[in-house]
Structure 1
Amino acid sequence: MNGKGPFHGIRVIELASALAAPGASAILADQGADVIKIEPPGMGDILRYMGASRHGVSNLFQHYNRGKRSLALNLKHPDGLAIVRRLAAGADVLLHNFRPGVAERLGVDYAALRAVQPKLIYVTVTGFGHEGPYAQKPAWDNVVQAFAGVAHSQADTGTGEPTQYYQIFADKLTALTAAQAIGAALFARERSGGGQEIRLAMIDAVAAFLWPDTCGSAAFLEPDGILDGQSLAKGNRLLRFRDGWAQVAPTDDASFLATCRILGEDVAGDPRFATIRARNENAQEVRTLFGRLYARAREMAVDETLAQLEAADVPCAKALRVDELPTHPQFQANGLFSVTDHPRAGPIRGPRTPARFGATPDVVGLKAPELGEHSEQILAELGWETPAAVLREQGVIA
């Protein structure tokens, strides 16, 4: 174990705000990359002012910007553009979430920066894509969720009313997709020696993620011989017990029959439920059966019933609140959560990057930067000729 993350030695320039693109570079920072976050002087990243906060420190901003360095820089000033280009010359990755055309107007497009760094991995995250009728539409997480199919895929099974996730689902999924793509491009560069441009639309990330198990028969272009079958997820309701909530996933034959028996419906010997293939062919009967199981669960104690299900090796778990996760013995055994001591907000608890590397562990316990905290440090590393005080007076940095 060398004590350095897998991306140690990789420099990332982030020209982004909010969550989708900064979330990607946050993963790289957790895994050892040197991420320089370029923010506009004055306000900085909008995420600094959103979500729960303490003493002016947003938990959202802390989580998605921990371990980064902040350079408050005016990109519209000629010196600001020159600084970005010099940074890019020594960088491995640059990512932004400007709308199509903005990077070109600013002079930080791929063609301009490839000229100073041919090995650059250049990543553009957009809401709807670079071309097409919606390319210039502004995008926010809930808008992307609605357009890319999330709301209808979450429709209430009784009323049919579309609903959305009560979380920034599209942003977080796009961040994960972008981080994976960057890792793949860096690996390809090791083989070829060249950089490349990556374009990622949020609607594409979400639609591709949803499609396999939510598209149903839409995957088949010929109409004959289609069997809708059982959905792996849709309609899977929580079991409501008299003193709590839980979930079960009895997919294989043994666990399915055990779940029915424990919840008071012994269906052993019924050919409609005997095998996974039979249950897929009798999906409506399975739904009816589970309706009765849900009703029976209301009369049972959750812990006692879960103990019986676990003894029968049925996949199951009690439904926990998010605030219960850090103190649960299983998450403590996994070591997922750590505490960062922030000088203004005090101790802040949050999860590390979930993947655990045996030889190149991720970096934990780092705080997010104050706006422009590292401006002078970064300029000094660049060997910038104009003194920082002069640049500050000219409105180039803050």
Structure 2
Amino acid sequence: MLGSEDSTGAAPLAGITVLEVGAFMAAPFATMQLADLGATVLKIEVPGAGDPVRTTGPFLEGHSSPFARLNRNKRSVALDLKSEGGREALRRLAAEADVLVENLRPGAMRKLGLDHESLRATAPRLVYASASGWGQDGPLAHLPGLDIMAQARGGLMSITGTPDGEPTKIGVPMCDLVCALYVALAVTAALRERDRTGQGQYIDVSLLEAGVSFAVWEAGKYFATGEVGRPLGSAHQTSAPYQAVRTADGHVTLGAVTPKTWSGLCDVLGLRALHADERYADASRRHAHREALIAEIEDVTRGWTTADLVRALDEAGVPCAPIADYGQVFTDEHLEQRGYFWDAAHPVLGPVRQLGSPMRFSRTPAVRSAAGPLLGEGTAEALRAVGYSESEIRELAAHGAVGLADGDAARPDPSDTREREDPA
């Protein structure tokens, strides 16, 4: 195997080698999950340029801060896939790898002769996953597809925001990210299936279908009644009260949808009359009369500070939370005490603060290793592992087919005396 990890290592995917031919978000976020789980991820990048995220600020010492976080625990292998030398290097890497994840436009890998069908003859055990905007076939497949287009066409933007507001996308690139998570899940499932059959397979995941998969409540309404979902601000689609309500100094989110929590909310706010009102007898009827209900609730909550209301609701066992900005999230005491944030080593930047993996294992914890790699720093090592000699690596580098990190020239080849003359 290409990776140096022993298959008996602590991390769940130790011993699995993943090739990433990706850029921006979907493939890199998917392989970040696999790397966190212990897989050796070789990030295939264009020599001299790399993943375009390397040019995304803010920059520290000339290095992209987002890149150092999105590509943690990976190794960079710089190959020019437009050259035959670079393509052949990828073929040889794929023949020894377990997984390949790519998010180029559909057909791009086929034109390079690096699609699943082309690699399967020499890599029958390879699990090959493609992430794309619209999928590998269908009338939209040939079109470029970014996260915002998937949010738009997949319906998410039609229910996000306020009822009379401008079209609003979800604040994070949700379709990119959930597509990546589906890729990681599918890859782990395919590896498990390979344990039984010995065969790899092809995986096709699209941003569009990943986004549409979220429409659980909307599908429940439409397929039952024909009702089309609309923006509701922070309110729930079917239950109330489940939304943000105004306070004297901001907002508090609350979810009092069970009999117990609804009763608790009424007690805290001194609104026992609402508890006896037939209009509000259950979460569904409360939702049907939501505007009147929230108006009555906010008449009271506007007299509370956010901190006091959260404290009182917490004591009563009513689900609630203040709305935190990311400055508060990234310094949150709860997350700090749980050790969620961690520092990854970087050869230039030193410690780079990382978001933790949400996956917590009792015996095989997620990997906490290095920040995003320098471009090409793993090229020579990866090529040596699949049989390239030092002279072959130097020749490929000289022709631009591969890229090496600064100071990472191939080691001298004992059998090659062509460059061993004494300096003048």
1:85 matched to 2:91 = yes
In the alignment, which of 151, 154, 159 is matched to residue 157 of structure 2?
A: 151
Comparing 105-114 with 49-58, greater Cα deviation is found at: 49-58
2:82 is aligned to: 76
Give the superposition deviation at 1:354.
Answer: 0.7
SS of equivalent residue, structure 1 residue 200: strand
In the alignment, which of 347, 366, 372 is matched to residue 376 of structure 2?
A: 372
1:331 matched to 2:331 = no
2:320 is aligned to: 316
- Aligned mates of 2:32, 2:40 — CA distance in 1: 10
1:33 is aligned to: 39
CA contact (8 A) 1:8 1:31 kept: yes
Comparing 258-267 with 101-110, greater Cα deviation is found at: 258-267
2:231 is aligned to: none
CA contact (8 A) 1:338 1:365 kept: no
Give the superposition deviation at 1:232.
Answer: 4.7
- Cα distance change on mapping 1:184 and 1:116 into 2, 3 Å: same
1:6 is aligned to: 12
1:342 is aligned to: 346
- Cα distance change on mapping 1:320 and 1:3 into 2, 3 Å: farther
Give the superposition deviation at 1:221.
Answer: 7.0
Comparing 160-169 with 65-74, greater Cα deviation is found at: 160-169
1:191 matched to 2:196 = yes
Could you give the per-residue CA deviations for residues 101-140 of structure 1, whole angstroms, max 9, x where no partner exists? 1111101011111111111101011101122221111111
For CA contacts below 8 A with separation 6 or more, give which structure has more relative contact order: 1
1:273 is aligned to: 280
Give the superposition deviation at 1:98.
Answer: 1.7
Give the superposition deviation at 1:284.
Answer: 2.8
CA contact (8 A) 2:31 2:184 kept: yes
- What is the Cα-based RMSD across aligned positions, in Å? 2.2
Give the superposition deviation at 1:255.
Answer: 1.1
- Cα distance change on mapping 1:221 and 1:238 into 2, 3 Å: closer
In the alignment, which of 125, 134, 152 is matched to residue 119 of structure 1?
A: 125
- Aligned mates of 2:65, 2:259 — CA distance in 1: 44
Aligned length: 387
- Aligned mates of 1:130, 1:89 — CA distance in 2: 23
- Cα distance change on mapping 1:221 and 1:231 into 2, 3 Å: closer
SS of equivalent residue, structure 1 residue 215: helix
Give the superposition deviation at 1:233.
Answer: 7.5
SS of equivalent residue, structure 2 residue 363: coil
In the alignment, which of 43, 49, 62 is matched to residue 43 of structure 1?
A: 49
- Aligned mates of 1:233, 1:349 — CA distance in 2: 39
Specify the code of the residue in structure 2 equivalent to 1:217.
Answer: K
- Aligned mates of 1:24, 1:134 — CA distance in 2: 23
- Aligned mates of 1:130, 1:259 — CA distance in 2: 50
* TM-score normalized with structure 1 length: 0.91
Specify the code of the residue in structure 1 equivalent to 2:221.
Answer: S
- Aligned mates of 2:103, 2:196 — CA distance in 1: 28
Matched ranges for 1:198-213 at <5 A: 198-209=203-214, 211-213=215-217
Matched ranges for 1:132-281 at <5 A: 132-157=138-163, 159=164, 161-209=166-214, 211-215=215-219, 217-220=221-224, 231-232=237-238, 236-266=242-272, 267-274=274-281, 276=282, 279-281=283-285
Give the superposition deviation at 1:389.
Answer: 2.2
- Aligned mates of 1:82, 1:130 — CA distance in 2: 24
- Cα distance change on mapping 1:234 and 1:136 into 2, 3 Å: farther
Give the superposition deviation at 1:155.
Answer: 3.8
Give the superposition deviation at 1:14.
Answer: 0.7
1:362 matched to 2:366 = yes
CA contact (8 A) 2:251 2:306 kept: yes
In the alignment, which of 113, 123, 134 is matched to residue 107 of structure 1?
A: 113
- Aligned mates of 1:45, 1:186 — CA distance in 2: 27
In the alignment, which of 374, 391, 396 is matched to residue 396 of structure 2?
A: 391
- Aligned mates of 2:345, 2:75 — CA distance in 1: 17
SS of equivalent residue, structure 2 residue 252: strand
- Cα distance change on mapping 1:221 and 1:233 into 2, 3 Å: closer
- Aligned mates of 1:121, 1:273 — CA distance in 2: 53
Give the superposition deviation at 1:235.
Answer: 9.2
- Aligned mates of 2:198, 2:221 — CA distance in 1: 43
CA contact (8 A) 1:125 1:202 kept: yes
- Cα distance change on mapping 1:245 and 1:221 into 2, 3 Å: closer
SS of equivalent residue, structure 2 residue 280: coil
Q: Which runs of 5+ in 2 are unaligned?
A: 1-7, 228-235, 404-424
Taking only the aligned residue pairs, the percentage that are identical comes to: 34
SS of equivalent residue, structure 2 residue 42: strand
Give the superposition deviation at 1:51.
Answer: 4.0
